[in-house]
């Protein structure tokens, strides 16, 4: 499926093709083409950027919808010859054979707010890049370190004075600061909108996550909107794997061959748990002491990864059992290394 057109292939249970053609992305036309096959029909497409409208249409019409996991569909990506006609038939064949690697169909009720949360993250990263550029220019000219908050409008005049020796340099830094102020305004407006939406989606679970000292609304809402519902994951191992907090081992004939799958899962959960590892120890001295011991034993990088794994496991059980954060239980939980052992 592309932005303006898609290739449709309809297979019977016995494998006979009933329809195989290119068509425009039109809801009414799609329903007209599949009308003769509506009984026991299952619609499947690859998880490209534009599957939302098709999933919503199937939900409205009472048609079962399956979303294929793009990274796992090797039967398509590894073929010698590849085009839309071949790919559509392979998707139908995988679905018919019961070997379609399925992705999660995120429900429409919370999908737009999740995407708004991701858009906010994009703006935050853009703002951070502008802040980094100001500090880079400051270092290029060996100026005193900037201690003030670059995001604060009242501090920006004082910071600009450091660059008065060259008008062009000052203009460059001033442009960064103007954009930072604009991004700050947009980010705050989005946060208010997201909080309003969250009250109707996950207010109870939000309160549970906010019981962790150091976890604010942004971290909590990112976790909740990326998970949607914790029942998706039968085991805690499934959840931490989806959050990219563990790696999968590769072995053959009983011999290990490294690990893989580091980029399989949800990058937003990986990022937000990495942020939580920075903020939570600042507000919990005992957790900070445990993190320090992990870093001394395994190194700073791996120590933070192990602590992020512990936080991921804690979040899973908090949401599953509907219980607030318990520091005593958290400190007694095993790390990823201990759990594997």
DSSP 150-167: TT-HHHHHHHHHTTTT-H
What pLDDT does 108 receive? 92
Beta partners for 249?
259
Cα–Cα distance between 34 and 19 in angstroms, integer?
9
Question: What size, in residues, is the chain?
Answer: 341
Which helix (H) or strand (E) segment is 24 a member of? strand 17-24
Cα–Cα distance between 215 and 19 in angstroms, integer?
52
C-beta separation of 30 from 23 below 8 A? yes
C-beta separation of 177 from 160 below 8 A? yes
CA distances from 139 to 131, 132, 164, 169, 236 (A): 13, 11, 15, 12, 45
Cα–Cα distance between 245 and 319 in angstroms, integer?
18
Cα–Cα distance between 215 and 218 in angstroms, integer?
8
Cα–Cα distance between 50 and 4 in angstroms, integer?
10
What pLDDT does 339 receive? 57
Q: Is the dihedral of CA 153, 156, 158, 164 positive or negative?
A: negative
What pLDDT does 317 receive? 96
Cα–Cα distance between 163 and 169 in angstroms, integer?
6
Q: What are phi and psi of 274, to 5 degrees?
A: -65, -35
Beta partners for 259?
249
Q: Give buried/exposed letters for 67-87 (b at 16+ CB in 10 A, else e).
A: bbeeeebebbeeeeeeeeeeb
What pLDDT does 145 receive? 84
CA distances from 102 to 44, 45, 67, 90 (A): 9, 10, 6, 14
In terms of Cα–Cα distance, which of 64, 15, 72 is closest to 42? 64
Q: 3-state DSSP call for residue 47? A: coil
Strand-strand pairing, 102-103 and 64-68: antiparallel
C-beta separation of 283 from 200 below 8 A? no
Residue 178 CB contacts under 8 Å (≥ 6 apart), including other chains? none
Cα–Cα distance between 146 and 171 in angstroms, integer?
17
- Indicate the domain borders of the chain: 5-103, 109-201, 207-340
Q: Which residues of the chain have pLDDT under 70?
A: 333-341
Residue 20 CB contacts under 8 Å (≥ 6 apart), including other chains? 7, 8, 9, 10, 85, 88, 89
Tens digits of residue pLDDT in 111-141 = 999 999 999 999 999 999 999 999 999 999 9
What pLDDT does 260 receive? 74
Tell me how far the alpha carbon of residue 313 is from its chain's centroid.
17
């Amino acid at each position: 499926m592309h932005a303006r057109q898609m290739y449709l292939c309809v297979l019977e249970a016995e494998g006979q093709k009933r329809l195989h053609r290119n068509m425009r992305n039109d809801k009414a036309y799609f329903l007209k083409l599949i009308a003769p096959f509506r009984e026991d029909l299952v619609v499947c497409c690859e998880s490209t950027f534009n599957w939302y409208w098709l999933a919503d249409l199937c939900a409205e019409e009472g048609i079962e919808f399956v979303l294929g996991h793009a990274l796992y569909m090797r039967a398509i990506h590894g073929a010698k010859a590849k085009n839309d006609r071949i790919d559509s038939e392979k998707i139908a064949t995988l679905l018919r054979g019961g070997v379609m690697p399925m992705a999660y169909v995120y429900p429409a009720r919370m999908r737009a707010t999740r995407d708004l949360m991701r858009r906010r993250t994009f703006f935050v990263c853009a703002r951070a890049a502008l802040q980094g550029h100001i500090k880079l220019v400051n270092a290029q000219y060996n100026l005193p370190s900037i201690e003030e908050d670059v995001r604060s409008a009242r501090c920006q005049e004082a910071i600009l004075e450091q660059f008065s020796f060259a008008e062009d340099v000052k203009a460059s830094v001033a442009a960064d600061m103007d954009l930072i102020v604009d991004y700050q305004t947009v980010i705050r407006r989005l946060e208010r909108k997201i909080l309003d939406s969250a009250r109707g989606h996950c207010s109870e679970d939000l309160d549970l996550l906010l019981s962790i000292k150091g976890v604010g609304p942004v971290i909590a809402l990112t976790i909740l909107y990326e998970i949607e519902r914790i029942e998706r994951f039968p085991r805690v191992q499934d959840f931490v794997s989806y959050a990219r907090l563990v790696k999968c081992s590769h072995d053959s004939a009983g011999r290990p061959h490294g690990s893989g799958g580091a980029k399989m899962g949800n990058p937003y959960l990986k990022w937000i748990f990495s942020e939580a590892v920075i903020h939570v120890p600042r507000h919990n001295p005992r957790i900070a002491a445990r993190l320090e011991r992990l870093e001394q034993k395994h190194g700073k990088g791996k120590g933070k990864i192990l602590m992020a794994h512990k936080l991921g496991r804690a979040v899973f059980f908090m949401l599953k059992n509907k219980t607030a954060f318990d520091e005593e239980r958290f400190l007694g939980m095993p790390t990823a290394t201990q759990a594997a052992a």
